[in-house]
Amino acid sequence: METTGGDPMRHLFRPPPDSPAAHAPSFSAVNRGKRSVELDLATTTGRDVREALLSRADVFVTNLRPGALERLGLAPALATDRHPRLVYCSVTAYGWEGPEREAAGYDLAAFFGRAGVLHQLTPPGSSPAPFMNGLGDMFTAMSAVAGVLAAVNDRHHTGRGRFVEASLLRSGMWSLAGEIGMAANGAAPKPVADRNESRTPLFNVYRTSDDHWFVLVGVEADRHLPAVIAAVGRPELLDDERFADARAVGRNRAAFIAELDAEFVRRPLAEWSQRFAEHDVWWGPVQTPLEVAADAQAEAAGAWVQVAGPDGVDRGRSVGAPIRFDGETRGRVTDAPDLGQHTEEILAEIEGKR
């Protein structure tokens, strides 16, 4: 259900004029294959249609603020009293209780800012960079899905739905459970470090001669140190007492990072990719969206779906959902609907079932 005027995301981040896409990629990715009903919930007709839809629904998901839902007669207790089998999922910025339950909050404010994520992504001396790509929204949506599926499973046993909550604030805190958990128990989390002072040089970013960046992921430093040294062709570094083991590397991290910087900048990324494969170094490239769009591994893993309009004409590719079942990839999907595209169709269905 969309109110008059539609979801605001319909009008943000529109595709360029020469794109085959009819909708913004961010909107299409999360609304493919759906049907759209445009309703004015302030009218008697709108409320009647809403109730008819809820009576047939397994799950109701809303991102309206608590006060708005209460004014519409859609508070969780009221809605589930009228529709006992309904799984009711509310996604908010800050939750249903507390002094700021009515506060608006896109993910930049509630997930990135309030929950501490943006702080943990900001090197010392730098200003926080605004993230505009909905990472927090996606993370919170997946949390909501997990809760909804658990409630649906519970309904199989009890016959009743549940009220499920997910918030941007709590999802952001969950993503930093280690750091925030330490702070909550009186311990100071490790401060954010500049890459040149990273406490774990084998878990760091480096630049190549063709100006690409990559990440080393040698989490178990003692295990991974010999492979990295072999890949860079500097076996004598293992004989240097400053770098003899993981603890020594940590103490002398600035010097070790400088040694790696000097080596990695000598060769292009493609050559390092070959060397890392030969020596079983754990790593990954830092790719731009354009590079990800051309990534052969993403293609092989089923990362894309072809989007088709209602006329059957292809409207370009869209990023597929991050899970699949039984190794099957959905090759082609219907695009996100236009605003109210299915209103008359669904009203006819409701009337026919009365």
User: Which residues of the chain are in CATH 3.40.50.10540 domains?
Assistant: 39-187
* Structure-token pair, residue 113: 């800012």
**321, exposed or middle or buried, with CB in 10 Å at 0-12, 13-18, 19+?**
middle
The pLDDT value recorded for residue 329 is 80
The pLDDT value recorded for residue 75 is 96
Instruction: For domain 39-187, give its CATH number from 3.30.70.360, 3.90.1660.10, 3.40.50.10540, 3.40.50.720.
Output: 3.40.50.10540
Mean pLDDT of 150-168: 97
Chain segment 247-304, per-residue pLDDT in tens: 899 899 999 999 999 999 999 999 999 999 999 999 999 999 999 999 999 999 999 9
Chain segment 319-330, per-residue pLDDT in tens: 998 888 898 887
User: Minimal CA–CA distance to 90: which of 163, 192, 178?
Assistant: 163
Count of CB atoms within 10 A of residue 241's CB?
8
User: Which residues of the chain are in CATH 3.30.1540.10 domains?
Assistant: 195-286
pLDDT over 70 at 19, yes or no: yes
pTM of the prediction? 0.88
Measured between alpha carbons, how far is 225 from 60 in angstroms, rounded to an integer?
A: 51
> For the chain, what is the HEC assignment?
CECCCCCHHHHCCCCCCCCCCCCCHHHHHHHCCCCCCECCCCCHHHHHHHHHHHHHCCEEEECCCHHHHHHCCCCHHHHHHHCCCCEEEEEECCCCCCCCCCCCCCHHHHHHHHCCHHHHCCCCCCCCCCCCCCHHHHHHHHHHHHHHHHHHHHHHHHCCCCEEEEEHHHHHHHHCHHHHHHHHCCCCCCCCCCHHHCCCCCCCEEECCCCCEEEECCCCHHHHHHHHHHHHCCHHHHHCHHHCCHHHHHHCHHHHHHHHHHHHCCCCHHHHHHHHHHHCCCEEEECCHHHHHCCHHHHHCCCEEEEECCCCCEEEEEECCCCCECCECCCEEECCCCCCCCHHHHHHHHHHHC
The pLDDT value recorded for residue 352 is 77
CATH architecture of 195-286: 2-Layer Sandwich (3.30)
